[in-house]
Structure formats: structure tokens, C-alpha cells
Chains A and B, each alone.
Chain A
Amino acid sequence: MSILEEISEFLQKGKRKNVKALIEQALEEGIDPKMILKEGLMSGMSIIGGKFKREEVFVPDVMMAARAMNVGLSILEPKLVEAGNEPIGRVVIGTVQGDLHDIGKNLTAMLLKGAGFEIYDMGVDVSAEAFLEKAEEVNADIIGLSALLSTTMLQMKEVIDLLKEKNLRDKYIVMIGGAPITNEFAEEIGADYYTPDAASAAEAAKKAVESK
């Protein structure tokens, strides 16, 4: 097994220390940090995401893998900046106004990050204006909206309506998710994508920016 495959394997098992040690070793061996990111960390996250989607693993496994990824990234990031590595896209993500639930949103952010996106996590109770302002500021590709409650899911429409009002609707891909959300609801409010789980969200986001 190559060292990059090993990194991917240990990441999937959430073994932070092994991931850290192997990345340090890989850098010493002169392996391109971009390769370590892609073939090691991102590959591991993509495999764990796939297993999550197929219900072979569950939330704890994704959280532990994401934590191992973050440990790895903290070593890699300075090298990636030097190498001028660009993210595959930028995502502004948050839980909509009036809603304070963030477990699903955080999980989605982890898997988007693992897929190579730069994440701007706005936290919870985020107003439509704040989403838009941040998206404009960082030149985002995607706005990701989360809601757990049937009460607050209606706020998703507010964000889309605001984008329309400012003539910015076509500039952004709007993705929505959360327990009460359905495809019908996404269509009704004019969102671009609804995905039922965090791993599908990362996959859809990847495809969406590739075809943008």
C-alpha cells in the first residue's frame, strides 16, 4: 500500500495520530502536498462519505474522519498556500434565521471541506441578508441552507427571494437540506438542489461547480 493510500485508510478509521505522522513522513519524502491532499485526505473523505450514504457507517465515523482530516490539513495548509492550491469552489453555509440546530449543517460542511471546497460557515440563525453579503464578499459558488423545523424551513424561500430581488439568483447555486425538506419543497421555492444527506450534498456540490 502506498503512503497516500495509508493516509486515506487511517483517515477513514479516524486515526488522527497516524494521519498526522504519515503526512509528515510524506512531506519529508518530497511528495507534492497537492497529491497528499487529493490522494490521501480527499480520497479518504470521499470513501467515508460514500459509506455514510450507503449506511455502512454513521455520524460518529464521519465526525472522526473529519477530525483526522482537520489534523492533516493543519499541517498541509501552509504548504498548499505556498503551492498556490485553489479550492474546487467556495461555499457559504449556515442554518437559516430562527433556527438554532446545526448538527446536520456541520456534518455537511465537513464533507464539503473533504471534497475540496473552501467553507464559510455562518453558524446558526443566519439572516437572508447575511448569507447574501458573505456570498458576495467571498465570491461564493454555492449558498447552502439548513433548517430542522417546519417553521423555519420557510426562511429558505426568503434567501432565494432576496437573491432574485437583487438580480443575483443566477450567480449562485442554492442547495438546501434538513429533516423536513423534500424535493417538492426545493422545487416550490426555486432552490437548485435538495439532498437528503450530507454525503449526497458534497457529491451534488462537486457536480454542480464542475458543470457551472
Chain B
Amino acid sequence: MTNRENLLSLLRRQGYEHVPVEFVLCPHLQELCKEKLGAEDYEEYFGFPWRRVDDLKLADQDVEKFRKFYERPLAEGADIDLWGVGHEKSPNSMHMTYMRHPMEDMETLEEVMEYPFPDFAHADGSHQPEQVKKIKEQDLVALGDMQMTIWECAWYMRSMEELFCDMGDENEIAEFLFDKVTELSLIRAKAYANAGVDVLFLGDDIGMQHTIMMSEELYCRWIKPRLKKIIDEVKRINPEIIIFYHSCGFIEPMIPHLIEAGVDVLNPIQSECMDFGEIYQKYGDKISFHGTIGTQTVMPKGTPEEVKEAVWKNLDIAGEKGGLFVAPTHMLEPEVPLENILAYVEACRTYRRS
């Protein structure tokens, strides 16, 4: 199998020859890898099986236009993203930022409708087919990364509390905002699909540590049909495309809904929130998984031996068909020892089914 075939076959539960590795490093660990390993580009250094294709490029890159939506001004040095969401920094918080919501104080549908949403309908995607081609020529899988697809995208603009209240009140703001965000996500998703990506990575956090974030009823009323609509359209363009979906936390009751919506691979199955063995037993014939190695526990706090055992145990659960792209569940933060990262990589490379 080529590298590409190996990953795609593993994700389709049709067997695999070697265990691919993948993780995300925080800026501190990226520096450490450069210094200790000479890994200028850690994705290349460790041989990750996929590369990201850039999103559509907006014609209007001006984000200053969003500043007027902040009644309480943004802190000095804050960034504004292309959705108008403010990100305030703190010298103590490394790469993390505090999010501010431009629509938080809006009270009428008219105000929400007049908001300058990013104009993806007129954005430039001419770079995408070229990037996809190059990635595939290198025997790598082409990935379109579109996490924060519907719910989180709307929440970041409106604020969680306001949006939940909009949903609870069944008001027109929620209806309009979800429709708008879905429309924009659909444009981006179709562009990725038309450019030929192998994998489209969607996601919206709908779990907390031990419970789901909202009721199944609320999820099915507002979000599931919109997610399904995006996936249906993308699969109409390319039935072979593999849909990843990310949600942190405990989301077991939501898994059947995600399967119905058309998700193929679920990320990250946090080991601190759900038992992979149980989840695999229940759903492993309908959906594949990406993640499972805990970044709250074994990655920062375990020994290298414990990291390896966790990797091997989960690969054994998935068995010879595959269906598990084993990886740390989240970005690796500064407290994760380099030895544990190397142990994860070694465990993948030396894995022999028991």
C-alpha cells in the first residue's frame, strides 16, 4: 500500500499495513522539537500522512470594520478574526486567548442581519486544486480543515449564553444565524470537495467532561439537520470523501445522530470522558475513530511506557481492519514531556497486533 492508500484504507476499516502518526504541538513544543531534534517542520519530520489545504481566500481582509460592534472595547493588542470574533491575549496564557463576541449585545434580528459576515460566496479558491494535486503527488492525504462548522461558529459570534437563550426562546435570531453560518460553511465545504480533498474535517463541541452540552432534542432541532445538509452536499460532489467530526468531551448520546448525519470518523474520543473499548464495541462497525490517547492524563502525566501501552491497547481494540487513527486527543501543551511524544511515535511504528 502507498502511504495514502494505507491511511484511507485504515479509515474505511479495510485493513492497513502500518500505523500512521499525527499530533498537534503548541508553539513551545514546536520550538523544543526544533532545538532537540532539528525538526523544522514537525509534520514532515515525523511523517504525518496528511497535509492541510488552505481555505478560501476572502477578497475583503479588513477586520477593523468589526471593532464598532464591541460596546466594551477590545483589550489592547487583541486580534480580530475574519468572523469578527475578538481574541484578547494575556502574557500569562501562552497561545490561548480570551474570546469576545461581536453580536453579544444585539437585540433585534435586523442588527444581526446587517452584520458584515465574511463573503465566502465571492472568495478565491483558485489555490485549492493546485495544493491538493501537490499533496497527493507526495503520496499524502489532502485535508480540508473546517472545524467550528455551525454551532461553535455561531456561538463565537453571538456568545454561548445569548445563543442558548435565542434557541430556547425559538427566536428568529437563532434561525437566521444558524442558516447564515450553514450557508457560509457549505460554500467552503463544496470548494474543498470540488478541489478534490480526501478528508473534510468538520466539528462543533457538543460535549462537556462528563455530560452532553445540550439536550439531544435541542441538538436535533437546531444543528443536526444543518450538519447533515453540509455532509449530503459534499458527498454528492464526491461520494468517496471521508468526513471527520470533532467534539471534545462526553458525547456518547450524540454518536448515533452524528452517524445519521453522515460522519465517517469521530475525533477525539477523550479517554478521560469516554471508554474507547465500549464506544468501539457499540459503534465500531458504523464509524471510525481518530484520537483516544488522553492529553489530560497519560500524555502529560504518564511514563513513556504507559503512553505506549495506551496506544497498543487501543490499536488492539480496533483490530486488523483498522478504524482507529490513534493520536493524542488534543494539542500537546508545554507540560507534555518530549519523551512521551517520542514514545507515542515509537509505539505506532513498532506496533504488532497481539
Partners in one complex: yes
Nearest CB of A to B81, in Å: 16
Q: In the bound complex, what is the Cα–Cα distance between A100 and B97 (angstroms)?
A: 7
Q: In the bound complex, what is the Cα–Cα distance between A94 and B290 (angstroms)?
A: 34
A63 touches B161 (CB 8 A): yes
Contact A196 B210, CB 8 Å, known A63-B165, A150-B300: yes
Complex interface: chain B residues within 8 A of A99 (CB):
93, 96
**Proximity string of chain A (71-98) to chain B, C-beta cutoff 8 Å, 1 when within and 0 when not:** 0000000000000000000000000011
Nearest CB of A to B301, in Å: 8
Task: Tell me the count of chain B residues lying within 8 A, CB to CB, of chain A.
Answer: 32
A150 touches B296 (CB 8 A): yes
Q: In the bound complex, what is the Cα–Cα distance between A14 and B335 (angstroms)?
A: 42
B165 touches A64 (CB 8 A): yes
Contacting B at CB under 8 A, from A23-77, are 55, 57-61, 63-64, 67
Complex interface: chain A residues within 8 A of B88 (CB):
100
A58 touches B214 (CB 8 A): yes
B160 touches A103 (CB 8 A): yes
B98 at the interface (CB under 8 A from A): yes
Nearest CB of B to A123, in Å: 9
B218 at the interface (CB under 8 A from A): yes
Complex interface: chain B residues within 8 A of A57 (CB):
215
Mostly, the B contact residues are: loop
**Proximity string of chain A (96-130) to chain B, C-beta cutoff 8 Å, 1 when within and 0 when not:** 01111001101000000000000000001100000
A125 touches B215 (CB 8 A): no
B218 touches A100 (CB 8 A): no
A151 at the interface (CB under 8 A from B): yes
Complex interface: chain A residues within 8 A of B164 (CB):
59-60, 63-64
Q: In the bound complex, what is the Cα–Cα distance between A63 and B168 (angstroms)?
A: 10
Q: In the A-B complex, list the 5 residue pairs whose CB atoms are closest, starting with the nearest.
A: A60-B164, A100-B98, A98-B92, A180-B296, A179-B209
Nearest CB of B to A58, in Å: 5
**Proximity string of chain A (143-160) to chain B, C-beta cutoff 8 Å, 1 when within and 0 when not:** 000000111000000000
Q: In the bound complex, what is the Cα–Cα distance between A60 and B218 (angstroms)?
A: 9
17 contacts across the A-B interface (CB closer than 8 A): A55-B211, A58-B212, A58-B214, A59-B164, A60-B167, A60-B214, A60-B218, A63-B164, A64-B164, A100-B93, A125-B93, A125-B98, A149-B333, A150-B301, A151-B334, A180-B272, A180-B296
Q: In the bound complex, what is the Cα–Cα distance between A14 and B164 (angstroms)?
A: 11
Q: In the bound complex, what is the Cα–Cα distance between A59 and B210 (angstroms)?
A: 12
Q: In the bound complex, what is the Cα–Cα distance between A64 and B167 (angstroms)?
A: 10
A98 touches B93 (CB 8 A): yes
B303 at the interface (CB under 8 A from A): no
Q: In the bound complex, what is the Cα–Cα distance between A124 and B75 (angstroms)?
A: 14
B121 at the interface (CB under 8 A from A): no
